[in-house]
Amino acid sequence: MQLAGKYLLHAAPPKVWATLMNMDTLAKVVPGISRLEKTGDHTFKSILDIKLGPVSGSFTGNLQLDDLQEPSAFTLKAQQNSRIGNANAAIKINLSPVGTDDTEIVFDGDVKLSGMLASLGQRVMGGVSNTLTKQFFSNLEKELEKTPAS
Amino acid sequence: MSTNGLIGRAIKRVEDKRFLTGHGNYTDDIVLPKQTYASFVRSQYAHARLLNVDTSAAKEMPGVVAIYTGTDLVDVNGVPCGWQVNFKNGDTMKEPKHPLLVADKVRHVGDAIAIVIAETIEQATDAAEAVMVEYEELPCVVDAAKAVQSGAPLVHDDVPNNKSFDWVLGNPIEEVNEAMRKAAHVSTLEFVNQRLVPNAIEPRSYNSSYDPATEKYTLYTSSQNPHLIRLLMCAFVLGIPEHKVRVVSPDVGGGFGSKIFHYTEEALLTWCSKKIGRPVKWTSERSESFLLDAHGRDHITKADMGFDANGKIVALRVKTYANLGAYLSTFSSCVPTYLHGTLMQGLYTTPKINVDVTGVFTNTTPVDAYRGAGRPEATYLLERLIDLAALEMNIDPADLRFRNFIPPFDGVNQPGYQTQVALQYDSGNYEGVLKKGLEMVNYAEVRREQQEAAHNGKLVGIGFSTYIEACGIAPSAIVGSLGCRAGLFESAHVRVQPTGKVSVYTGSHSHGQGHETTFAQVVADKLGINLNDVEIIHGDSEAVAFGMGTYGSRSLSVGGSAIIKSIEKIIEKGKKIAAHKLEASADDIEFSSGKFTVKGTDKSIGFGEVALTAYVPHVYPKDLEPGLDFSSFYDPANFTYPFGCHIAVVEVDKETGKVSLKRFIAVDDVGNVINPMIVEGQIHGGLVQGIGQALFEGAEYDENGQLTNASYMDYCMPRADDFPMFEMGSQVTPCPHNPLGVKGAGEAGTIGAAPAIVNAVIDALWSGGHKVKDIRMPLTSERVWHAMVDA
């Protein structure tokens, strides 16, 4: 499944970057996250509770921030396993400045689903991922508002 | 033989009382002492190597009795395939092991990795979720045409190009090519006959137990053929002596073919029941049904039909890739070959036919017989081509058929019709059903309405399908010569009780067909007794001597004929008993309306009294054994060949592409009819499944081998309000080679219906100037709309 979109954030790229690279804020902004544990410089172990239409589940797995090009691009990789199926994602995220104070985030990637997630969840995945993405960015926006401009 | 008029009457089904009042007894209703429950760990991936299966945490879960994985079963055989098909060069088909649990690599989503047995179903399910599986995902292939290309991922490492077999039937290809070259017109279609999920209302269920005292196993199974399961499981999988296994199929909630096959779970539960010394039950969840019950169809085909200048078919050439899924299911190899290629004559005098089929493994659910099994695919191909040719040559499609029909023959005064593709048709009057169909639809009038509609900017279409099927499966010698690894006869044991009541033990299992009524009608009619004095017993290997089961519209023509043979023996013996009682010669006794009478006199004795005498033989012929109890086996001389004409009238919405089915006319000739209401019901059900394929159904895999519509939220099942009232007609051309003259009605609707619908939609589009050759089934609004816009 393709996951792509863009979002305008009211902060400059360096600040957005710093926020995204901070594990504590990441734990707050990723929807459904119940546990996030650092396992390496840019790798995390995570537990996510997510409802996808007719199926819901607790996902455990790894999150990884890769191909870091501060402050303009990185790739978010996720391998998540659950009793309702596994999800594997690699999403390229680009941050580009808009004017002096804003950042446009463009993301594009592929999510591979298996098991019940694929056979029952696929139909609603588009809608669910839209909702989750919106939640993510609105959470991120709130976090950015909290921290003073750097 | 006598008759009391029960044959031919629309008697209400005697079995329905228990079904409608909730008193049916299904496998899942059976709870045995010390019952345990199983749940499976199944593959989430279409193709992956198993790196590690960790059951340690699951074993500690509450209520867990045992967990087995593939490594526990490496010495146990897999489930076999029942039909050997050979490559063109004579090599035997590739039939890789289909293990009960996978040890090395999984080959389709749902492939079984471990079985978890616990005290309750909830505990088993919870523990199964705690089994940790580590996979190494491998590239997969889901499309049969892609799977045979070099470089495609291999489903089985030792099967090159994923080909189980390539197979050819008919006239030499050079002759067919030559005839095609000389043809005045050739119509060509490249199409997909899409994969279907069978969707029986009762999910598969098994309950297996082992008694250490008698060393006997009992398997309750939701099967269409319990004896066949016993044979396959004992002789080919587990190596248990057959007399130590009882297999019972109690009430079964629909099969449509999907419950013919010997599934891995049946053998595995039986194996486990001895290991743990307790009964083990498993009932498939609906999402497991979608993933595991053998699917149907899935052909990719290119076909050419050549015509001379007068519209006579001169040649047919077919190339099909048949998707077999990841493993060979029990009858998977014969469905796209001997049940498909052999039907390519259709109802037409085509002189040159060549059909070439490649059976292909893919990382998908195994594919096997589903209502019609090969014959709907053959009918779809022929009937789509002939309607398309009619449009392309601007000849009326009914007229084009009349030009090509095999002339009527009854199989008695005129011989059977020898086809170019192995079979010999028994009897037929093909123009008869089309004529009747044209009358019923009022053809000239609907064509006029179509023109008027086109004038008013509406798209109305009329589609035909004149089909034939090979049923009454099957003459053992013929199918044996074609690779079948079993005989396909049927057995019947008729036991007359001392009071004249009759118990009939038949090998034909009933799971929706109404045998308990139809068979009782036959017996009561022939013996001149009341319907409720006959009991039909089926589905228990300890009660019934043997049985080959219910599929291929065979029950009445094969199973019913076996019953007739036993009844003939009973009447013959009854005559001897009556002769003794009446002090006459047995040759002078005639049996009619339940009475044995001395010819030309009024001296007679009733059937009940003869029965009592047989069991209380105080006054009895010296050379006769007591009892009135006979067993028979019937092996048919030929297949039976029902046929018919289906006509669909549709309207297509120009703006949205939505197809509305306005009328559906079905004229079916199924030979003699015992119970017209049951036949009509069978045809209704078949039509709904055939039209379901044309308009609604289809299993959709994504490129990762995930079945993306494995639920009733996503897989579109036909509903009552999708259909108009069916307009049913009939014609009777008796089967010349079985005692009842019956041909079979279970699959007729499914075999004929789909092409009539698609032809009607194509006809509608042509009436609006959209010269579309094909639209892929199911004909959703989106696909029809695209076809219109893109044409």
**Cβ-based contacts of B109 with chain A (< 8 Å):** 114-115, 118-119
Q: Return all residues near B363 (Cβ < 8 A) that are at least 6 apart.
A: B46, B47, B107, B108, B140, B141, B142, B153, B155, B326, B705
Nearest CA in chain B to A58: B129
Let me know whether B313 and B277 are in one domain. Answer: no
CA-wise closest residue to B370 among B342, B330, B341, B343? B330
Residue of A110, A112, A117, A119 to mutate for B, most B C-beta atoms under 10 A: A119
Max CA-CA distance within chain A? 46
CA-wise closest residue to B740 among B557, B563, B508, B593? B557
Let me know whether B281 and B328 are in one domain. Answer: no
Q: What is the pLDDT of residue B1?
A: 45
- Residue B683, in any domain of the structure: yes
CA-wise closest residue to B462 among B652, B334, B618? B652
Strand ranges inside B60-184, DSSP E: 64-69, 105-106, 112-118, 132-137, 163-170
For the record, the structure tokens of B74 come out as: 């490496």
Let me know whether B426 and B537 are in one domain. Answer: no
Q: What is the pLDDT of residue B352?
A: 98
**B44: distance to nearest CA of chain A, Å?**
4
Nearest to B707 among A54, A112, A119 (CB): A119
Domain residue ranges in chain A: 2-146
CA-wise closest residue to B302 among B396, B186, B390? B186
Cross-chain residue pair B704–A119, CB shorter than 8 Å: no
Let me know whether B364 and B421 are in one domain. Answer: yes
Let me know whether B624 and B768 are in one domain. Answer: no
**A45: distance to nearest CA of chain B, Å?**
17
- Write the pLDDT tens digit of every residue in B215-263: 999 999 999 999 999 999 999 999 999 999 999 999 999 999 999 999 9
Asked if residue B176 lies in contact with residue B354, where contact means CB atoms within 8 angstroms, the answer is yes
Mean pLDDT computed over B477-500? 94
Residue B360 CA to residue B319 CA, distance in Å, equals: 13
Sheet containing strand B490-496, strands side by side:
B534-538, B502-506, B490-496, B629-634
Cross-chain residue pair B710–A119, CB shorter than 8 Å: yes
- Write the pLDDT tens digit of every residue in B634-667: 999 999 999 999 999 999 999 999 999 999 999 9
Asked if residue B335 lies in contact with residue B167, where contact means CB atoms within 8 angstroms, the answer is no
- Write the pLDDT tens digit of every residue in B744-753: 999 999 999 9
Max CA-CA distance within chain B? 86
For the record, the structure tokens of B240 come out as: 């248990």
A31: amino acid identity, one letter: P
Let me know whether B498 and B586 are in one domain. Answer: yes
Nearest to B287 among A86, A119, A122 (CB): A119
Let me know whether B111 and B57 are in one domain. Answer: yes
**Cβ-based contacts of A86 with chain B (< 8 Å):** 44
Q: First CA to last CA across chain A, in angstroms?
A: 37
CA-wise closest residue to B443 among B405, B407, B401? B401
Residue window 28-87, chain A: list those with CB within 8 Å of chain B.
54, 83, 85-86
Residue B540 is classified by DSSP as B
**Cβ-based contacts of B707 with chain A (< 8 Å):** 118-119
Q: What is the pLDDT of residue A83?
A: 80
CA-wise closest residue to B158 among B120, B115, B203, B105? B105
Residue B161 CA to residue B146 CA, distance in Å, equals: 10
Question: In this prediction, what percent of chain B has a pLDDT beyond 70?
Answer: 100
- Residue B236, in any domain of the structure: yes
Three-point CA angle B281, B282, B286, nearest 5°: 155
Cross-chain residue pair B711–A119, CB shorter than 8 Å: yes
Asked if residue B347 lies in contact with residue B428, where contact means CB atoms within 8 angstroms, the answer is yes
Let me know whether B220 and B344 are in one domain. Answer: no
Sheet containing strand B64-69, strands side by side:
B64-69, B112-118, B36-42, B280-283, B205-211, B216-221, B245-248
Q: What is the pLDDT of residue B2?
A: 44
Domains identified in chain B, total number: 3
- Residue B147, in any domain of the structure: no
Residue with tokens 């579109």: B716
Q: Return all residues near B88 (Cβ < 8 A) that are at least 6 apart.
A: B166, B167, B168
Q: What is the pLDDT of residue B421?
A: 96
**Cβ-based contacts of A110 with chain B (< 8 Å):** none
Radius of gyration (Cα) for chain B, nearest Å?
Answer: 27
pLDDT over 80 (residue B48):
yes
Residue B565 CA to residue B563 CA, distance in Å, equals: 5
Residue of B708, B715, B716 to mutate for A, most A C-beta atoms under 10 A: B708
Mean pLDDT computed over B20-35? 97
Q: Could you tell me if B129 lies within 8 Å of chain A, comparing CB atoms?
A: yes
Q: Could you tell me if B109 lies within 8 Å of chain A, comparing CB atoms?
A: yes
Q: What is the pLDDT of residue B328?
A: 98
Asked if residue B491 lies in contact with residue B544, where contact means CB atoms within 8 angstroms, the answer is yes
Task: Specify which residues B730 forms β-bridges with.
Answer: B668
**Can you tell me the ipTM of this complex?**
0.81
Tell me the HSE value of B759 on the side-chain side, using a 13 A CA sphere: 32
**Cβ-based contacts of A84 with chain B (< 8 Å):** none
Residue B316 CA to residue B634 CA, distance in Å, equals: 36
Three-point CA angle B431, B432, B436, nearest 5°: 115
Q: What is the pLDDT of residue A120?
A: 79
CA-wise closest residue to B269 among B348, B364, B205? B205
**For residue B592, what is the domain's CATH number?**
3.30.365.10
**Cβ-based contacts of A57 with chain B (< 8 Å):** none
Residue window 284-303, chain B: list those with CB within 8 Å of chain A.
287, 290-291
For the record, the structure tokens of B741 come out as: 């003259």
Let me know whether B320 and B353 are in one domain. Answer: yes
Radius of gyration (Cα) for chain A, nearest Å?
Answer: 15
Residue B244 CA to residue B219 CA, distance in Å, equals: 11
Predicted confidence band of residue B3 (pLDDT cuts 50, 70, 90): low
Residue A45 CA to residue A102 CA, distance in Å, equals: 31
Residue B673 CA to residue B675 CA, distance in Å, equals: 6
Could you tell me how many helices (H) and strands (E) chain A has, helices first? 4, 7
Average pLDDT value for chain B: 96
**Cβ-based contacts of A85 with chain B (< 8 Å):** 44
Burial B433-454 (b: 16+ CB within 10 A, else e): bbbbbbebbebeebbebbeebb
Give the H/E segment covering residue B662.
strand B659-669
pLDDT over 60 (residue B319):
yes
Q: What is the pLDDT of residue A149?
A: 53
For the record, the structure tokens of B136 come out as: 């190494």
* Structural class in CATH, domain A2-146: alpha beta
For the record, the structure tokens of B234 come out as: 């004992």
Let me know whether B301 and B287 are in one domain. Answer: no
Predicted confidence band of residue B50 (pLDDT cuts 50, 70, 90): very high
- Write the pLDDT tens digit of every residue in B116-158: 999 999 999 999 999 999 999 999 999 999 999 999 999 999 9
Domain C-terminal end among B245, B268, B292? B292
Question: In this prediction, what percent of chain B has a pLDDT beyond 90?
Answer: 99
Sheet containing strand B659-669, strands side by side:
B459-468, B643-652, B659-669, B726-730
Nearest to B704 among A112, A116, A120 (CB): A112
Let me know whether B404 and B547 are in one domain. Answer: no
Residue B7 is classified by DSSP as T
Let me know whether B684 and B590 are in one domain. Answer: no
Phi, psi of B288 (to 5 degrees): -70, -40
For the record, the structure tokens of B50 come out as: 């198993």
Task: Give B196-230 as a 3 state SS string.
Answer: ECCCCCCCCEEEEEEECCCCEEEEEECCCCHHHHH
Cross-chain residue pair A119–B713, CB shorter than 8 Å: no
Mean pLDDT computed over B684-698? 98
CA-wise closest residue to B552 among B367, B421, B733, B745? B745
B247: amino acid identity, one letter: V
Low-confidence ranges of chain A (pLDDT < 50): 150
Q: What is the pLDDT of residue B782?
A: 97
Containing domain of residue B84, as a range? Answer: 31-138+201-254+259-292
| DSSP per residue, A70-134 | TTTEEEEEEEEE-TT--EEEEEEEEEEEETTTEEEEEEEEEEEE-THHHHTSHHHHHHHHHHHHH
Domain C-terminal end among B585, B612, B634? B634
For the record, the structure tokens of B637 come out as: 């001389």
Cross-chain residue pair B109–A115, CB shorter than 8 Å: yes
C-alpha torsion sign, points B526, B529, B530, B535: negative
A13: amino acid identity, one letter: P
Q: What is the pLDDT of residue A147?
A: 75
Three-point CA angle B9, B252, B336, nearest 5°: 90
Q: In whole angstroms, how far apart are CA A136 and each of A143, B542, B714, B729? A: 11, 64, 28, 63
Asked if residue B210 lies in contact with residue B350, where contact means CB atoms within 8 angstroms, the answer is no
Domain C-terminal end among B588, B607, B634? B634
**B47: distance to nearest CA of chain A, Å?**
11
- Residue B155, in any domain of the structure: no
Q: Return all residues near B352 (Cβ < 8 A) that are at least 6 apart.
A: B170, B171, B175, B176, B179, B314, B315, B316, B420
- Residue B10, in any domain of the structure: no
Residue B676 CA to residue B25 CA, distance in Å, equals: 27
